[in-house]
A and B are shown apart, each in its own frame.
Chain A
Amino acid sequence: MTAHAHSTMFSNKPWMFVDRIVALQPNERIVTLKNISGSDCFVRGHFPNYSVYPGLLLTEGMKQSAQLLLAHSGWMAEEASFRQLSARYLCPVRPGDQVIYELSMQDVTDLDGEVTTQWAGGGRIDEQRAFHMKFILITKEHRKEAQ
């Protein structure tokens, strides 16, 4: 599976940190990609003498990838927030890089409409691991009714 992500994302431009869905297995894992450009507005001031993609926007990209997997697995995912996060950044991500996000859903709990999901994954540039993280995401909607 490969598809442009923007039509199914819940965020608004320019707060969109996934360009394409590369692979997806509902309720299990998703692989997405983001092309980093020097014309990205968030790179403009980060920094004046050198361009580094902000690490916390990579974190947001992982969260948006998780939302995509939730949505493609039949869960409502519009309102998602981190409850816990553990992340390690291994190398700078720079304009010209293509970040591959790989993310697995570890667990899901639906309690009175508050859905808690646990995730683990990371990002790479070519074959180099750029970061890895685990996080817990909260969404506050019930599972969609079967279509």
Chain B
Amino acid sequence: MGEKVTAADMLMLLPHQAPLRLVDDILEYVPGMRMVAQFQPASLYPYCRESYVPEALLMEGLAQTAVLFTQLETEELKEDDFPLLGNVEAATFCQAGWEDTLMFTVTPLRFAHRRSLLQGIAHTASGKRLIRVSLGLAVSNVKEIPQ
């Protein structure tokens, strides 16, 4: 992609749709270095109604940010491609409230053919650190999966 790609252009690369679409905006993309995405979790509260944002949603938000970052660093998903989570290692620090604005920052560790390894951290807009992860992602294709 060229340098004039906008946040809206980047968001179009995310295949995830509601209700489990956990990236609202891209705040920063530094090629080769990092991506920072933002998400307001309040819209998911009716699906969950827990007293805090479950850690699974924080990890999913980081994974979706990693899917976007990986495509910009390597290649876009092709028709019938879909991303798969291969592994996750996570350590949590504190819980997020539903009214918090969540920030997902991912940085690369390694990119290989249709596989990537990244690390990420979720925090609130006020700087409260929530969770740290390392994520392994892969790209699969509908035609590769036994039907």
Contacts and interface: CB of A to CB of B under 8 A. Distances in A.
Interface stretch (A19-27, A68-76, A84-92): A84-92
Interface stretch (B26-34, B56-64, B104-112, B114-122): B56-64
Task: Say what secondary structure dominates the interface of chain A.
Answer: loop
A113 to B, nearest CB: 17
Interface residues of A, number: 33
A87 B19 contact: no
B145 to A, nearest CB: 6
Interface string A109-142: 0000000000000000000000000000000000
Nearest to A78: B51
Contact of A46 (B20, B52, B87): B20
A84 B90 contact: yes
Interface residues of B, number: 36
A50 B80 contact: yes
Contact of A54 (B60, B87, B92): B60
Interface in A33-81: 41-42, 44-50, 52, 54-57, 59-60, 63, 79, 81
Given A46-B16, A54-B60, A92-B145, A41 B88 contact: no
6 contacts: A15-B47, A41-B19, A52-B82, A55-B85, A56-B56, A85-B90
Interface of B: 15-21, 47-52, 54-57, 59-60, 63, 79-80, 82, 84-92, 95, 140, 142, 145
Interface of A: 11-12, 14-15, 41-42, 44-50, 52, 54-57, 59-60, 63, 79, 81-89, 92, 94
